[in-house]
Amino acid sequence: MMQKILHFLTKPWFVGFVFFALVAVATLQALWLSQPNTYTQYNNYIIFKQSFFHLITGNNLYTYYLDECWDLFKYSPAFAAFFGLFAYLPDSVGLFLWNALNAFVLFFAVYKIPHIAVKQKSFMLLFSAIELMTSMQNSQSNGLIAGLLIAAFIMLEKERILWATLFITLTVFIKLFGLVACLLFLFYPKKWLRIVGCMLFWNVLLLLLPALFCGYTQLIFLYKSWLTLLSQDHAVSLGYSVLGFVQTWLHWQVNKTGLLIAGSLCLLIPFIKTKKYTYYFYRIHLLALVLVWMVVFNHKAESPTFIIAVAGIALWFFSKHHIQKADIILMILVFVFTCLAPTDIFPLQLRKHFFEPYVVKAIPCILAWLKISYDAWHFTLRQKKE
């Protein structure tokens, strides 16, 4: 009986229905809870939408517009130009399409991963569903980023370099930490010349594209303003990250740059074993490692960001050939204390006075990152070369 239920629950059409339902619920909830004459419950979407209008009217993207929304736009000018696709739509339609884009880029990317059974892919998506919902409830872009990075890996595996480099470049122009995914290029040394050429092409194109809407002089001003904002942001934030954990739990005043460098060196250690690059599931391990790393070492990581890390953890676990007890324990911890931590499963007081100040959401992902690193370093060459 249980086998029949699992077989039904892991059908791609059923998972697709679940994702569509999450998109609809997240959108309707945001619209329903929004009150007239106040900031909306989909504030981030309003920030993204208004950034396009600020771009075409020659205004500074990187300042407060408190009559519209209560936070700053922190993405690239290219992202503001991209949001012209949604800007003229009614909020109900645009928000639904934006959430759907985030959900279904991830959905289709996971189902396109080669050499992994459909059932395992379904488990990956179902495990990530609550975290995706958290991201969509905040109308954030993190589901899109996770999907684009996985899609980039798939395109690299298929030697479709132009598409792979486009997907990674798009993530960089949404959030700069997408640059970390360039480590995936190390797997394909024979393609480096094409990769570099394509990356240059897409970066130049996206750097200059907003000039079509605002002119080159204004674009230079916007890039200067963006860099200023990012430098100020770096100075004040801890986030749900290794840095937040160290300062909250251990009371160590660690230099951010120094910790980032140390974390980067730790990330690079498994990449030293270049002979293992020929093994597909080793490459999968390192993809998962990159996805988790770019969240737990991100000083700006917020709760909605964790769909990227959780997608990486799900990819690691459900692609493993030999699952250990420690892996299962880690997955339970991730599900309970990362995915469920911001939900009403836990009392509000516990969330506000313990989970949030003590960055509890990040701790299981940090432990998972350590375990994935360990597994990558001790990866055995049992798998068939792909």
DSSP state of 374: H
pLDDT tens, residue order, the chain (386 aa): 778 888 888 899 999 999 999 999 999 999 998 877 678 889 999 999 999 999 999 999 999 998 888 889 999 999 999 999 999 999 999 999 999 999 999 999 999 999 999 999 999 999 999 999 999 999 999 999 999 999 999 999 999 999 999 999 999 999 989 999 999 999 999 999 999 999 999 999 999 999 999 999 999 999 999 999 988 775 556 678 888 888 888 878 878 888 889 999 999 999 999 999 999 999 999 999 999 999 999 988 899 999 999 999 999 999 998 899 999 999 999 999 999 988 889 999 999 989 988 999 999 999 999 999 999 988 875 544 44
Task: Output the CA–CA distances (angstroms, integers) from residue 353 to 108, 124, 179, 340, 359, in the order listed.
Answer: 38, 31, 34, 16, 11
pLDDT value, residue 384: 41
The DSSP result for 252-311, as a single string, is: ----HHHHHHHHHHHHHGGGG-GGGGGSHHHHHHHHHHHHHHHHHT-TT--GGGHHHHHH
The residues spanned by each domain of the chain are: 2-377
> In terms of Cα–Cα distance, which of 50, 138, 127, 39 is closest to 88?
50
C-alpha–C-alpha distance, residues 279 and 386, integer Å: 6
**Per-residue confidence (pLDDT) for residue 124, from 0 to 100:** 97
Residue 385: the pLDDT is 41
Let me know: does 110 contact 103? Beta carbons within 8 Å.
no
- Say how many CA atoms lie within 13 Å of 59 toward its Cβ: 13
Of 184, 178, 114, 181, the closest CA to residue 142 belongs to 178
Interval 14-44: pLDDT, tens: 999 999 999 999 999 999 988 776 788 899 9
pTM of structure: 0.95
pLDDT tens for each residue of 297-338: 998 889 999 999 999 999 999 999 889 999 999 999 999 999
Percent of the chain with pLDDT over 90: 76
One-letter identity of residue 84: G
Task: Give me the pLDDT at residue 99, please.
Answer: 98
Looking at residue 386, what is its pLDDT?
A: 43
Tally of CB atoms within 10 A around 298: 25
Which helix (H) or strand (E) is 234 found in, with range?
helix 216-236
pLDDT score for 328: 97
Please give the Cα distance from 196 to 175 (Å, whole number): 20
